[in-house]
C-alpha cells in the first residue's frame, strides 16, 4: 500500500496512520513506534520545508506486522512484514 504524506502532519503520525490502515487496526492497538525507530529523528529528517526540496532519502524499518519504507518524505510504502511472510527459502 502506498500512502502520500500530508505535509501538515508529522511523519511519525503519518507512519502510524498508514500502518493502521494497511493492517486494518486502530492506531492505539499498534505497538509504540518509538520502540523500533527514533521518532524524533524520523520527524526531523522529514520535516516539511527542511533543506531545499529535491533531496533523495529512504528509511526502512519493521513496525507492527509490516515493513515500512519512507521515501523522500513524501511517500510511505507499507507491505507485509518480511519476517512473518518468509517461506523459509
Query: CA torsion angle for 56, 30, 35, 80 (degrees, to 10)?
Result: -50
Burial of 57 (0-12, 13-18, 19+ CB in 10 A): exposed
| Whether the Cβ atoms of residue 35 and residue 43 lie closer than 8 Å to each other | no
The whole-number pLDDT of residue 86 equals 47
CA–CA gap between residue 64 and residue 16 (Å, rounded): 10
23-76 pLDDT, tens digit per residue, is: 999 999 999 999 999 999 999 888 876 555 556 789 999 999 999 999 988 899
Give the Å distances, CA to CA, from 72 to 46, 81, 89: 8, 21, 32
Bridge partners of 63, per DSSP, are 66
For residue 87, pLDDT over 80 is answered with no
Predicted local confidence at residue 46, as pLDDT: 85
Q: What is the spatial distance between Cα 21 and Cα 66, in angstroms, rounded to a whole number?
A: 11
- According to the model, what pLDDT value does residue 88 have? 43
Amino acid at each position: 500500500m502506498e500512502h502520500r504524506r500530508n505535509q501538515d502532519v508529522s511523519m511519525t503520525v503519518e507512519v502510524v496512520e498508514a500502518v493502521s490502515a494497511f493492517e486494518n487496526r486502530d492506531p492505539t492497538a499498534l505497538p509504540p513506534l518509538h520502540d523500533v525507530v527514533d521518532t524524533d529523528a524520523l520527524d526531523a529528517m522529514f520535516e516539511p520545508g527542511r533543506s531545499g526540496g529535491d533531496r533523495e532519502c529512504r528509511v526502512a524499518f519493521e513496525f507492527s506486522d509490516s515493513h515500512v519504507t519512507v521515501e523522500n518524505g513524501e511517500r510511505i510504502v507499507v507491505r507485509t512484514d518480511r519476517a512473518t511472510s518468509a517461506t523459509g527459502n
